Amino acid sequence: MQKYIDSFNQMISLRGLTPATRKSYSSYLTSYLNYLQTHLHKLPEEVSWSELRSYILFIQATRNLADRTINSHISQLRFFTLYVLHKPWDPYQLPMRKFDTYLPSVLSKEDALYFIQSLPNLKHKAVISTMYSAGLRVGEVCHLKYSDINRKNMTIHVSSSKNRSERYTILAKNTLDILTQYWYDYGKPTDWLFPSTWGNQKPIVSFTVNRFVNDHLTRLGWSQHLNCHSFRHSFATHLYENGVDLLTIKNLLGHKSLNSSTIYVHLGFRGNASVKSPFDFSGGAHE
């Protein structure tokens, strides 16, 4: 089965995907090939549509996967069938699953400020305040360089983004003050802005940032389901609540499509007392 994995990896490499994405996609195929060996004892070319469906039902039953994850498995089966086996793909034989969508958790402005101000570690405070005040993904804040901070224009240059496009976002005065204090207290880093504790040659990793966010949630005794991305969502939601248009929010976040930014219309609507129901305009029902 290794020849199939090698061919698959070669094809996804030609797409120019990041190493992390290639590793994830390859794991989906490895799962499928292991199933063929242990359950069907067939080569991939010999598998029927019925057996492909059986595989999807198998991983759903045995691994309790989310619908989005199952769709990722189906997508990679499609890619493998088309580009490695060179066989046609029929979406009516193995349809994508529908899935529920949920609004992400966001902090109130007061809670975001309190969370940051109450962080006991200055480096942690600098990282989280930068994420919240600029709308950065955790991977983006980890890979910031000292040269990315522009004090003159009050901007942050984001070169390592999810969709591989550079952008500039805003640098808050309060964040600059925290960053300045952090910079002096932590040895004036001139390469990675937030280097790893294991050495200045590498940046801090996402796992570490997630860990000290979770640790502080426990310290505060908050029961909200929050993570690093909650600060990015809170940034965009609070901008929208302050009257910033969606196109500007899209550009600051680095979204490719405006559709990705429309969720903040729903998040920003919560508690909007200025919006009245048409039933109130009519004066209500009177007998």
CATH at 34: 1.10.150.130
Residue 126: which H helix or E strand, with range? helix 122-134
Query: Are residues 160 and 53 part of one domain?
Result: no
pLDDT, tens digit, 9 for 90 and up, residues 154-171: 999 998 656 567 899 999
Residue 277 domain-assigned (yes or no) = no
- 160 and 247 part of one domain: yes
Q: What is the pLDDT of residue 90?
A: 95
What are 32-64's pLDDT values in tens digits?
999 999 999 999 999 999 999 999 999 999 998
For residue 113, what pLDDT is reported?
Answer: 94
As a whole number of Å, the end-to-end CA separation of the chain is: 76
How high is the mean pLDDT of the chain? 87
Task: Check whether residue 67 and residue 186 sit in a common domain.
Answer: no
128 and 222, same structural domain? Answer: yes
Q: Is the pLDDT of residue 286 over 60?
A: no
Which pLDDT band holds residue 272 (cuts at 50, 70, 90)? low
What 3-state class would DSSP assign to 70? helix
Residue 96 lies in a domain: no
Same domain membership, residue 14 and residue 130? no
Report if residue 104 sits inside a domain.
no
Residue-range definition of the domain harbouring residue 142: 109-269
Give me 274's structure tokens. Answer: 């200025």
Residue 75 domain flag: yes
Residues 175 and 133 in one domain: yes
Residue where one domain finishes, among candidates 20, 49, 83: 83
Residues 70 and 122 in one domain: no
- Band (pLDDT 50/70/90 cuts) for residue 267 is low
Residue 283, pLDDT > 70, answer no
Q: Is-contact 122 185, C-beta < 8 A? A: yes
Q: Are residues 67 and 114 both part of a single domain?
A: no
Q: Looking at the domain assignment, is residue 72 inside a domain?
A: yes
Residue 83 scores a pLDDT above 80 = yes
**Active-site positions?**
137, 162, 229, 232, 255, 264
Is there a single domain that holds both residue 67 and residue 33? yes
> Residue 140 sits in a domain of what CATH number?
1.10.443.10
- Cβ contacts of 237 within 8 Å, gap of 6 or more: 106, 264, 267, 268
Same domain, 120 and 156: yes
Residue 229's Cα: distance from chain center in Å?
7
Euclidean distance between CA atoms 199 and 252, whole angstroms: 31
Q: How many CB atoms lie within 10 A of CB 284?
A: 8
Picking from 182, 161, 123, the residue whose alpha carbon sits closest to that of residue 251 is: 161
> In the prediction, which pLDDT does 18 show?
73
Amino acid at 84: V
Q: Which residues make Cβ contacts (< 8 Å) with residue 129, sequence separation at least 6?
A: 116, 172, 174, 175, 178, 179
Q: How many domains does the chain have?
A: 2
Residues 68 and 126 in one domain: no
Confidence of residue 244 (pLDDT cuts 50, 70, 90): confident
Higher pLDDT, 171 or 66: 171
Q: Is the pLDDT of residue 285 over 60?
A: no
Q: Is 156 helix (H, G, I), strand (E, B) or coil?
A: strand
Model confidence pLDDT, tens digit, residues 94-150 = 999 886 666 678 888 999 999 999 999 999 999 999 999 999 999 999 999 999 999
Place of tokens 């029961």: 223
Q: Is the pLDDT of residue 31 over 90?
A: yes
The dihedral formed by the CA atoms of 64, 69, 71 and 74, expressed in degrees to the nearest 10: -80
CA distance 27 to 15: 17
Residue 185 maps to a domain: yes
- Contact between 240 and 259 (Cβ < 8 Å): no
Residue 223 is assigned to a structural domain of this protein: yes
Same domain? For 63 and 161 the reply is no
Q: Name which residue leads in pLDDT, 65 or 32.
A: 32
| Residue 283, domain member (yes or no) | no
Please give the structure tokens belonging to residue 197: 């504790």
CA separation for the pair 70, 95 (Å, rounded):
11
Measured distance CA(242)–CA(252) in Å, rounded: 15
Q: How many CB atoms lie within 10 A of CB 226?
A: 22
Question: What's the token pair of residue 85?
Answer: 């086996």
* Helix/strand number for the chain, H first, E second: 13, 5
* Long-range pairs, 217-222, Cβ under 8 A, ≥24: 220/115, 220/118
Strands 155-158 and 167-170: antiparallel
